[in-house]
Structure 1
Amino acid sequence: MRVRIKWSAVGIFVALAFILSSLAGLAGFFSFWLSTFLPLYAIFSIIYLFVSWEGYAWFQNFSTNHPRKGETIKFEMRLSNDFKIPLSGGTCTFVVPGKQSELSLPIGVFPGSKQSITYTAEIVCPYRGTYIAGIKSIKLSTPLEIIKTEIDIVPQVFYVFPELYRLGQSIEKYTVSSGAILPAQGKDNEDPTVFEYTAPLLQEMSARRIAWKRWAQTGIPSVIVYGEARTRGIRIVLDLYPCVAMNNYFFESQPEKEKEKLAAEDIIMSAAFSVMQYLAEQRIAVTFITGGNNQGVFIDSEAVFKNVYEKSVNIIFSDDSFPDAAFSDENVAMLFSTRPIEAIYSEYEKRMYNGTEPHLFLCPPESKVDVEKKYAEVIKEQRFQIGSKSFFYVADVRNGSKEITDAFSV
């Protein structure tokens, strides 16, 4: 609890109390009462303030603690005076997404009856991200507001994760077989079904690998060297390019731009994580890279995917860096981006004619969909002429999640 005291008002109050106390005995009982009024008032105010804290009650309720994207949370808040006497005045500060408001606490004008105030609101969660709602603080003060007290209350935080969709097996054909993407190399990755060659037996080698027939034929002690275990895998590169420029100084006055930006980002996030979810379920290795980074998170199980997914609310599209990891020669990659086609065309075209282009899933903001579709037609014609088999899809944000399921249905 924080306590704020108006020291200037306290000084005036004390000076006035001394003046009145000097009048004691000058006019009988009236002067005595006058001289003791302010000290008694001060004591009464402090006691009254503590009584008021005990008398007020507040309660808030949310229809769900785990909203899904597009879901509406029903928020109800009730403030009440549970004592049957008028209490000291105060306010309740609360927040809902986009604004902060205050309500006066029910003082209770009429003794003998409980007073309460109920506030309801609907909190819409149209996009992925973090939503904050609920009571933020309760403030009470003495009648003359010389002493003010306040307690802070942590509002409820709601995390809305990217929507996940069930995708078909078509994703698997875009993965490659490679031992290089495994998290570690060495004897643990050796596959006894893959014969590589024989080598002379050394002292530190295991007897289980001895090639007995080779030893018998040549008279030279030899061991079998097995090939490495290999698995399918792919790089998932999430480009964090901000597709709509926002002016930070006038952010709240640009609701249409904000909605356009968030809608495109949501499609990209849902598509990327839906693909990774499927691959994790199939035990197909994924290296997940964000922004302009070259290092990523290795995902080889559903448990690891879940951990990465739960941190996805912290991903912010604010990195202009070019996604070089998608155009690396190390492994095949799938790039998810809201970046304009013309911004990646030069690098993509060069790779396309070399047969090493990344798979692309693009989702431009609504205001740029038609222009990007025209660029896409040009690229599709080039791809057809050279016989490219890589994945290429430009989503129309106006169709919502249907674009994701349609893209990976073939």
Structure 2
Amino acid sequence: MATLDSKAASVFQFGYAASNTGGLANIISNIGTTTAQDANSGTSAPDQFAFAVTNNATSDLATTSVTVSVATVVPGQQASFTLNLTNNGPADSPSALRYLELTPGLSGVSVTNNGTYDPATGIITYPAIALANGATAPSVVTFTAPAVGPVNTSGSLSGGGGSVSSGIFGNNQATGSIAVTPVADVATTLSGPTTTVAGNLVTFALTTANNGPSAAASVGQTVQLPKNLSGVFPSNNGAYNASTGVVTFPALTALASGTVVNNTVSFPMPAAAFTASASVTTSTTEAAGTTANNAATAATTTPAATTTDQANVYNTLLPSDRDVAPGAAVTYTLVTGNNGPQTALNVAQLLLPPSLTITSISNSGPYNATTGLVTFPTLASQASGASVPNMVVLTAPAPSWPWPASARLPRTPCRPIT
């Protein structure tokens, strides 16, 4: 300083890099001047000041890595992450805090070193631990691979109360990931009448399901019928190839686990007996031993003896409500009638989604939970102009997506309606 006025003071600040190992530092301040000082009067201030500073040792807490037991798993397979934690020192950490974030909603989760997994958030919490210089605290997290992946994790280690940080934070966190290969189990069923008068309309019901656990991609649905049929009417924009006899329904981009799709195909009964079959394919991997249900064969359909009798049977199908909440009761009313002119024999069938909760079915019609088919008792005869109602009361399923119902009438004798 050039000058310092009488009785004035000047404040200086400085910093220094303390050792991570800690210890005592002695800091000395000296002051001098070219102006004469009155040393003999005893009023001069000291020209030197010393004071001691205690430097605390620091700890460098690090998440060195997250290792995986396997890079890729299939749904249902056990896999694990290992969170590797260490204290690089040089000081001990009296209260190290471990933290791990995992994919939410996993099942079969177990965590070593007293970790607790919250499936709602995916966060694993641990109690604080004392971690000495050079000590490690690994934690293994085991889980069951879900239907959809990947499974990700992120772990970290930091100092809690009483810990002095080294200021090195770049090594506090590490991540890991395990891929999940989707596995689906697609299945199909096909059902139709065993006997129908040649020329009468015959209808086959096709179901395509995915038993999971993963969604099935690019699902193809086909039905093999006799070649060169006429008047073939597949549902949902299906197409019939007369030269091959194959009905191809539009491919499904994705079929969620537990979902069932219903289709029908109708055509005039040919003169010769035949056996229809169905198949389903998917680009998603299917587990070994689960592909037998990718094909189904219906019972052989044979033509009944021709007759000069003519009847015109019909079905009407109405729900009690077209917009219901999951869990609400829905009643389907199926009316089977005959517009004549002759008496008809009928079997009224109702096609619903599989695995529904059925409250009641009139006339003791059984429900097949696998195919979704309700078969009402055969009418010994039905006079011209007569009609018979049947009702099915069921619980609307969840989620609240639209689901179809259809009715069909294998019958004899009958005249085709064109």
Q: TM class, shorter-chain normalised? A: 0.3 to 0.5
Rg larger in structure: 2
The TM-score normalised by the length of structure 1 is: 0.36
Identify, as 1 or 2, the structure richer in strand: 2
The TM-score normalised by the length of structure 2 is: 0.35
Identify, as 1 or 2, the structure richer in helix: 1
